[in-house]
């Protein structure tokens, strides 16, 4: 059953800084970029072992041997597809741990390295969107966490923006924008997630960064990105009422969608909060966009759900075909769950033991990302996690994965895109 905030909490939390325990991927030494060409193409940034598939499942045809590989990409944490050079096919951007951001141009279904973007921190998340409306996709990067004394050193930017200056399909030119993203100061800088979304309906993309200080929301003022203004108090409504005991929080994951179908995008976030006893309880919280109901854009806490595991992925998608987005939640060493939007107005059922039309993965994997996509072209959304694909039949994901890798290699990110232009979705998985 949905849990609503009680009336005992403070009107607005004071943001706090915490030490972030590195995720498992920082212990992985190498990865390679490989491309499988088949009825469904799988593009993967993999651990040192090359993934082999099980016997192809009905409806999927994934080749066992990579048709293309790049052995340079290592510790790949995030990836995104988009037509960066305007030639009609999808190019590919990969964020890595301490190996910069790698940009690949698509040449007839084959990816070639076009540019490397220097990143002083680890590129934990990426988002593509046309920020200045010049017809070209720009890049936003959440730069992960780094221990750095800001009073003494140049710690780099927790959030970075790269403008697309590409003039012809001969190459890709992403140029860093002079953009000041300074969350709190101190010894830690972090942006764990980023989203580009039009929050106030003015047809310009706004920027949302998530990190240890909560959310940082930059509202667009048109083509001059230097004129963006940062919303006060993290963009949260001043009169939001929080669960009892919450005095500050760190945001690890972020996903935007219009879950109440009122015409503006809302937010789902994963929070880690101090309880005053040295523990850090975890919550998934839903924030309703109050644009249209107030003079400015702010987000009001709409619902909150305690979770026992560290949530590593949030993704909106309409699993059951009722037009309302459902929420996929992945966590470290816990089964993936789909929380269904039961009334198409933002009421969710996270308890799959008691809910109707709720789905839980059969295994508790080391899952760090999830992505929706119609891989079998039957009109409904299927779900990809690193090393597994679950098909949707009749508005419900199947209990058994339609495809899984034979060796269960570690992976950190997944992203769907049609790399070879054959009309079926291809899958990028990074680790």
Whether the pLDDT of residue 7 is over 50: the answer is: no
Q: Percent of the chain having pLDDT more than 90?
A: 30
**Mean pLDDT lowest among 178-187, 356-365, 409-418:** 178-187
- In the predicted model, what is the mean pLDDT of residues 321-329? 94
Q: How confident is the model at residue 65 (pLDDT cuts 50, 70, 90)?
A: low
pLDDT (tens digit per residue) in 334-355: 889 999 998 877 788 766 665 6
Closest C-alpha among 319, 411, 358 to residue 43: 411
More confident: 277 or 123: 123
CA dihedral of residues 308, 309, 310, 312 (deg, nearest 10): -120
Which of 154, 41, 36, 139 shows the shortest CA–CA distance to 95? 139
pTM of the predicted model, to two decimals?
Answer: 0.83
Q: What pLDDT does residue 310 have? A: 83
Residue range 181-212, pLDDT digits in tens: 554 444 445 688 999 999 988 999 999 998 87
Is position 18 within any domain? no
Q: Count up the domains in the chain and report the number.
A: 1
Kindly state whether residue 19 falls inside one of the protein's structural domains. Answer: no
Q: Look at residue 103 and tell me if it is in a domain.
A: yes
pLDDT recorded at residue 342:
83
Does 1 map to a domain?
no
- Mean pLDDT for the stretch of residues 361-387: 88
Per-residue b or e along 226-245, where b marks 16 or more CB atoms closer than 10 Å to that residue's CB: eebebbebbbbbeebbbbee
What is the pLDDT at residue 368? 81
Q: Is residue 17 part of a domain?
A: no
Quick check: 423 pLDDT over 60?
A: yes
Predicted confidence at residue 294, as pLDDT, reads: 56
Question: What pLDDT shows up at residue 76?
Answer: 77
Confidence of residue 39 (pLDDT cuts 50, 70, 90): very low
- 9 has a pLDDT exceeding 60: no
In a domain, residue 7? The reply is: no
Range with the lowest mean pLDDT among 51-65, 158-172, 203-217? 51-65
232 DSSP assignment: G
Q: At 40, is the pLDDT very low, low, confident or very high (cuts 50, 70, 90)?
A: very low
Q: CATH number, domain at 179?
A: 2.130.10.130
Number of Cβ atoms within 10 Å of the Cβ of 225: 19
Selected residue with higher pLDDT from 276 and 422:
422
Which has more confidence, 114 or 149?
A: 114
- Whether residue 179 is predicted with pLDDT greater than 60 in this model: the reply is yes
Top-ranked range on mean pLDDT: pick from 53-67, 100-114, 233-247, 313-327: 313-327
The confidence band for 22, taking pLDDT boundaries of 50, 70 and 90, is very low
Would 195 be classed as within a structural domain?
A: yes
Mean predicted confidence (pLDDT) in 84-92: 94
Of 61-75, 165-179, 377-391, the range with the lowest mean pLDDT is: 61-75
Say yes or no to pLDDT of 363 above 60: yes
By three-state DSSP, how is residue 112 classified?
strand
The arithmetic mean of pLDDT across residues 162-186, rounded, is 75
3-class DSSP state for residue 25? Answer: helix
Confidence of residue 2 (pLDDT cuts 50, 70, 90): very low
Q: 18 pLDDT band (50/70/90 cuts)?
A: very low
DSSP string, 182-216: --S-SSEEEE-EEEEE-SSSSSS-EEEEEETTEEE
Res 332: pLDDT? 81
Q: How many CB atoms lie within 10 A of CB 18?
A: 16
pLDDT exceeds cutoff 90 at 297? no
Mean of pLDDT values over 26-37 = 41
Cβ of 374: how many Cβ atoms within 10 Å?
16
Domain limits for position 228: 24-48+63-430
Contacts of 354 (CB under 8 A, 6+ apart): 1
As a whole number of angstroms, the distance between CA 34 and CA 52 comes to 11
- pLDDT for the residue numbered 298: 86
Which pLDDT band, with edges at 50, 70 and 90, does 333 fall under? Answer: confident
136 found inside a domain:
yes
Query: What is the per-residue pLDDT for 357?
Result: 66
């Amino acid at each position: 059953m949905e849990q609503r905030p009680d009336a005992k909490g403070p009107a607005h939390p004071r943001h706090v800084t915490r030490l972030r325990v590195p995720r498992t991927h920082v212990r992985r030494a190498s990865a390679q970029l490989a491309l499988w060409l088949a009825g469904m193409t799988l593009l993967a940034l993999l651990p040192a072992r090359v993934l082999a598939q099980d016997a192809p499942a009905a409806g999927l045809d994934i080749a066992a041997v990579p048709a293309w590989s790049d052995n340079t990409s290592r510790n790949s944490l995030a990836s995104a597809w988009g037509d960066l050079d305007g030639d009609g096919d999808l190019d590919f951007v990969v964020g890595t741990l301490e190996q910069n951001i790698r940009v690949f141009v698509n040449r007839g279904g084959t990816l070639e390295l076009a540019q490397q973007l220097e990143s002083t921190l680890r590129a934990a998340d990426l988002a593509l969107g046309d920020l200045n409306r010049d017809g070209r996709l720009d890049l936003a990067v959440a730069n992960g966490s780094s221990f750095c004394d800001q009073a003494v050193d140049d710690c780099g930017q927790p959030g970075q923006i790269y403008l697309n200056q590409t003039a012809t399909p001969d190459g890709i030119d992403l140029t860093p924008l002079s953009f000041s993203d300074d969350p709190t100061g101190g010894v830690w800088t972090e942006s764990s997630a980023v989203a580009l979304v039009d929050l106030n309906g003015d047809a310009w993309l706004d920027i949302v960064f998530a990190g240890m200080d909560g959310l940082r929301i930059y509202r667009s003022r048109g083509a001059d990105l230097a004129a963006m203004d940062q919303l006060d108090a993290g963009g949260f409504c001043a009169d939001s009422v929080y669960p009892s005991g919450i005095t500050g929080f760190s945001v690890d994951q972020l996903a935007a969608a219009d879950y109440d179908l009122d015409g503006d995008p809302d937010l789902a976030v994963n929070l880690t909060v101090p309880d005053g006893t040295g523990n850090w309880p975890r919550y998934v919280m839903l924030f309703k966009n109050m644009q249209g109901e107030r003079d400015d854009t702010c987000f009001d806490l709409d619902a909150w759900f305690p979770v026992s595991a560290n949530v590593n992925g949030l993704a909106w998608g309409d699993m059951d075909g009722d037009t309302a987005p459902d929420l996929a939640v992945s966590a470290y060493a816990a089964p993936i769950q789909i929380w269904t939007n039961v009334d198409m107005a933002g009421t969710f059922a996270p308890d799959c033991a008691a809910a109707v039309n709720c789905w839980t993965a059969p295994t508790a994997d080391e899952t760090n990302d999830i992505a929706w996509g119609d891989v079998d072209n039957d009109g409904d959304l299927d779900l990809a996690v690193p090393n597994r694909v679950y098909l949707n039949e009749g508005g419900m994901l199947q209990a058994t994965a339609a495809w899984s890798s034979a060796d269960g290699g570690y992976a950190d990110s997944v992203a769907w895109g049609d790399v070879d232009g054959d009309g079926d979705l291809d899958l990028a998985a990074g680790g």
